[in-house]
Chain A
Amino acid sequence: MNPRKNMPEIKDMPDMEEVLRTSLNEKVPAEVEARLRNRLAAFRQRMEQQELRREKENPIMSILRMAYTTKLGRLCAAAVMLAVIILALGLFPWPHTSNLAFADVVRQIQALRTLTCNFTGTVEVEEGEPAVTTKGKSMWMTPGRSRNEIVTDIPEPAMHMEMVQIVDAVEGRSLGLMPSEKKAIIIRLEGQTPEMQRNLARSIVDALEELRDGTETPLGTRDIASRKATGFHVEKSGVVCEAWVDPETGLPIEVEMKTKMFGNSTITYTDFVFNPPLDESLFSLTPPEGYTLMDTPKAVDLSPPTEQDLLAMFQQLREVFQQLRESGGESFPQGLFPKECNMNSCLEVIKQAVKEKEAAAKPQEKLPPEKVMERVKAMTETMTKTMMALMTKVTRGTMFVQTLKPENDFHYVGAGVRFGESEKPVCWWKPDGFKSYRVIYGDLSVRDVMPDNLPAAK
């Protein structure tokens, strides 16, 4: 039945509104008002206490908890991680230490002023769960500028994320844009090397060539897009790289990188174009009109990593474990050092600890996917910032180890050592020009030890 069919005209009931208004307009008696105000005062106190607790909790914990213990949280974190990995590749070009082997290639690479390529990526967070996919375009321009346009899709329930990251190593700033939310983030960069400032495009190609250091496995030749390509396979710091290059010039045609940083991640770079015309405006660091600036995180340090960065990485891991203990009680064990000193192992050890903690905790109300989605959307900003901060520390720590040469004699024996174990060594190395070794122990103390007294020598 249509209720409007028998609806009287408004003019037939002129007084209904007045009757409602006058009848429902009674003053609140003083004693009732006092009772209700008491309720409000208690509620206010409850809100304030919650906010204090929230301020005390490290945002990393809430992010990690969500990232490792809910399916959608894992997928969203994977999407953010993919973006962070791609951005990290832009911010931290691969180590640049040796000279090029081929004189004819050098000439071509030195003439390289702009470079573009496309990339596609997937992350399988857990076996059997749908993969997060990403695609986009990377551009580099001399001097020291890069732009990444990243589109990420999360399945079930579908979520689409877009991000643009522009880095200018000369200006010392990076601009991140989230077009769907019209948000911009500006990060200050510190400690850029002259190499990064001079020719970022060239350093990317140089770095690829440097992967061929004698440890690679040749993959033979194959045709890619009607071009002959020779391939090689190399594994470094937990990253498996399969690169296909032009046999005559050494320039890349297709590069695939696989890591297990967060599930199984694969990123493939294709369609390399050398010296394409690129508009300067693509690298502008001014946010487009209508964008709001997000809370600016601390500056990202791009200077060559040092011992302090390795310690900062371990301190970051210890902080995560401390947070777990504080929220989980003293019964939660002290965290373990990673099995190996690389990014995969660092993230793996955090993942295991968060999962153990959640398994031991009182089961929480299971949120339906749309609620998780709401929460994740609300946390995207914090998640990006937190993951960036965590990844920056872990990246710089592991980069320090990568920059050590064979004569620095680096050893890592942290597998099985718990944070706080002051007598157990975690790693040691011999700094350039020193006779003694630097040894880091489980309590993160650092001691100078002569070769004869090294833990392994005992």
Chain B
Amino acid sequence: MKKYLVLAALIACTAQAQNHSGLEFASEEIRRLQASDAENPGMLWVDQGAKLFAQKCASCHVSMKGVATRYPAVEDGRIVTLEAKVRHKEAFAYESDELLALTAYIANQSRGMPIKVSPPAEKLDAGRKAYYQRRGQMNLACAHCHEQNWGKRLGAETLSQGQPNGYPAYRLEWQKMGSIERRIRACMFGLHAELPAYGSDAMLELELFLAARASGLPIETPAVRR
């Protein structure tokens, strides 16, 4: 019941087009799971990341506080995600426990800090175009659910704004940690659209736009999502 009141309050302020974290659309139980580091299963990956970081990264890097707020960034005309940055020395497979652990550990150090991504206009426009592009057999764009209809129901689900600030996040559906790229692919799968490959330009442009759109939202890694 409380949940619906919160949602009603959310919907009441749609006019201001504010950003709302996926956390606000989650159930009481999931919010409680995320709030407690002793119970949040995503913390297992953060712990593993701390160990890996000490082994593989600590000879050059010390604190990673605030780093995750700036990614994806544009470096030398190319979009670089936190995952890509971690892979610069050792090419961990996408969605491997090692890569998820390291990115979760790094992003966790920025927990509570607002996303601050300011990409050059042409890169951002490419992502914006992808965001409003209809795709798949469902013939829907990201915006149809996550901009025009968030807060409403799609079957048993409440549509969120599709904000990336909790990722890498622990999804109950996956029973493990996953990246925002995996989450985007899950959306594309639902649309019966072609799944953009991990690290591909199509994926990176969309990720960049999502992060720019989420500017100001606090990082929640490791978030818990349904």
Q: Do A and B come from one complex?
A: no
